Chains A and B, each alone.
Chain A
Amino acid sequence: MKYEMILVRYAEMAIKGKNRKHFEKQLEQNIRRQLKDYADVKIKRTFGRMYIELNEEPLKEVCELLKDIFGISSFSPVVKTELNEAAIAEAALMVTRDSLNEKEGSFKVAVRRINKKFPTGSQEMNQRISKAVLIQMENLSVDLHQPDVELKVEIREEAAYISGGVIRGAGGLPVGTGGRALLLLSGGIDSPVAGYLAMKRGVTLEAIHFHSPPYTNERALQKVEDLTNILTRYGGKIKLHIVPFTESQLAIHQQIPDNCEITVMRRFMLRIAAEMAEQNNQKALITGESLGQVASQTLDSMYTINSVTAMPVLRPLITMDKMEVIEIAEKINTYQTSILPYEDCCTIFLPADPKTKPNEKKVSYYESFMDVDEYVNKAVEGIRTIELTGKREQDIEMENLL
């Protein structure tokens, strides 16, 4: 006797009226993609929920992957049994044990008898199953109102289905239902988290990174590729656009007063990213900024930086404390990579006293001595794009060695 399928629930989506079909389709597609290594898995949609038939594929591994798919509110492994009381009782016991994980707790049994040929009525079955489980488990009690485990038994024509444990899903909306946006990915702790949260609301992501060789090295770029690869776990393949930024940065360093350098650099980044997003038909930029975290993230700074584009800039972390961001970074597995100490383009020419209240007019005046458009266009033209799908070729080679 074992778990043969997984029942998938998606609460928030179910209320989205006419769009529901679209959402469900996308979710099904996302689940398929996430489970592509498990060839025998089959997915079935019924009204308001989905069933994943395991067909001998490993339950635990599949569950782990489901936890990272946005749009799933919760899921439950289901046992299929023959249509007789002993088999159902045995499955009920197993499911209750697994759900409580050897701890004490309470449960309730809810039998639905769809197959009216089954000899025992659902009320009677409720009692019999409860009794059978209670006898076997010392630390178990019945609680009809707030049970730790709600054991669901469905008696159908072909078989009985028993489920109990409810595993929390990632919530949110399926990636692919929330439009397209471009993430400014630096390699630090914040931007991958911002990308993750954007995906949580269904956004399809591409990422843009500013690379300034020889001031930033291969390892820094590698780190960004790694972070992008980690993010693919939550949203499928992601395109990474690598901007050659050295020329712009050197020009800024030469032309702009030290304490405004960061502000101008950010304005350049935003211009380049916005241009790229425009070309890719993306409707927003996403950044990992959090209010007041550093000089360039004060309201004054953001105002001055943001004024170079009309493209919406989404900042999912804007009100979060650093610790809250780190907590998510650890959860989504980007933290360990983010803290690797390689210089990125934001830190190489860092002045001693960056302005926390840069004045937009002054900054524009400084920039008027530069051919901004030319630098921006050249950078955009020089963009190299790679598509990341979770693993690099070299990594697969290394894995084979291990």
Chain B
Amino acid sequence: MIYLDNSATTKPWKSVLETYTQVSEKYFANPSSLHPLGAEAERLLMQARKQTAELLKVAPEEVIFTSGATEGNNIAIQGAVNANKGRGRHIITTAIEHPSVLRTMNHLEERGFEVTYLFPDKEGRVKASQVAEKVRKDTILVSVMHVNNETGSIQPIKEIGKVLTNHSKVLFHVDNVQGIGKVPLNIKNAGIDLLTISGHKFHGVKGSGVLFAKRNINLVPLYFGGTQERALRAGTESTAGAAALAKALRMTLDREPENRNMKNRLEKLASELSKYNEIIINSPVLRAPHILNFSVIGRKPESIVSALAEKNIYVSTTSACSSKDSEESIVLKAMGLPEERTTSSLRISLSLDTTDKEISDFLKSWKEIYYEVLKVGG
């Protein structure tokens, strides 16, 4: 199997799964229980939180364990605007956010909030100056993703954070699901108030995520119950999920130097694929080391995905979360690309474990299926 859909999800590492099962078995008690078993579970949860905080270079109390990025993004965005709607009802985001941000914004628009969507340039990048132009007295939140999940384009988070230092009451949320471990980002230096990551994107387990919420930030919870996770995420904590996430994050960041190799592999893919006449690379030059988006003009991407799947190779048409709904990529469209490209895009996404051999095997298979699919289609 050659798995090249790592932006959709990664295969959990064995040792991470071991942690998950061991913790589930041994530290099963409710961390809120008073008895010693509860105390031990609480302690492990605390250690997982501490380790995660150290890795993210933030304070332990700023780490909120969640069930994943969709929940994290919702708590951050809805929580922030509901806590601040007395001051204003204007939000700024980009047109290329993940659906868990975009649809939340749509929902807020129905609720009477005004949302400004920033459009990226042809390189898939918004500019900090766009934020500076659009920010107003009644702006309460700016939400910009760090790395785009479809193209791998990198947004100027630090620069936007700098623009917002002049607007101290505007909260700054960053969806860093695709960026964590791939593109360095210093949370504290970038003036970020809220930031989301998800465990299963870096070889953790599904159902685990982290919302970084700066100390003293006031958020209205999405649902109510116990006071777990600063009362922002009520419900019995998943000690095993948190431990697995902390471990996967440590292992991922330990291997950060290997991103260079991943980038080289991706560059190789890009240069080999661009040799085909009908292929145009959509990912910008300034991109994350793991995502390559390209269009095969005149071809149905679905047929290519199926043809590769028959050879036990797995890639994606567009982001997995939106691919079922529409044939056109919203992200590529927002970049101003023509329809022939927005409807024919494929995404290959690597992981730290992708090997040189897998890349050359992929290219070999690609060559084989490419002309078959062309023939069928043409």
Contact = CB atoms under 8 A, between A and B. Distances in A.
Q: Do A and B share a complex?
A: yes
Contacts of B39: 217-219, 222
A210 to B, nearest CB: 19
A230 to B, nearest CB: 13
Given A402-B48, A402-B51, A402-B250, A394 B243 contact: no
B43 A398 contact: yes
A394 B47 contact: no
Interface string A381-399: 0000000000000110011
* Size category, A interface: 10 to 19
A191 B20 CA distance: 38
B247 A402 contact: yes
A402 B246 CA distance: 6
Given A218-B39, A219-B39, A398 B60 contact: no
A135 interface: no
Contacts of A336: 60-61
A402 B34 CA distance: 24
Interface string B14-54: 00000100110000000000111001101110011001000
Contacts, number: 34
Contacts of A394: 40, 43
Interface string B229-259: 0000000000000010011001000000000
A401 B60 contact: no
Contact of A399 (B22, B35, B47): B47
B contact face: mostly helix, strand, loop, or mixed: helix
A394 B40 CA distance: 9
Nearest to A401: B19
Given A401-B23, A401-B247, A402-B246, A217 B34 contact: yes
A134 B250 CA distance: 41
A9 to B, nearest CB: 31
A395 B47 contact: yes
Interface string B37-80: 00110111001100100000000110000000000000000000
Q: Name, among A218, A222, A336, A401, the residue most crowded by chain B CB atoms within 10 Å (CB to CB).
A: A401
Contact of A401 (B34, B42, B44): B44
Which interface residue of A217, A218, A219, A402 has the most chain B CB atoms within 10 A?
Answer: A402
Given A218-B39, A398-B47, A402-B243, 11 more contacts: A218-B36, A222-B39, A222-B43, A336-B60, A394-B40, A394-B43, A395-B43, A395-B47, A398-B44, A402-B19, A402-B246
Interface of A: 217-219, 222, 336, 394-395, 398-399, 401-402
10 contacts: A218-B39, A219-B34, A394-B43, A398-B47, A401-B19, A401-B22, A401-B23, A401-B243, A401-B247, A402-B47
Question: Which 3 interchain pairs have the tightest Cβ spacing?
Answer: A218-B36, A402-B246, A219-B39
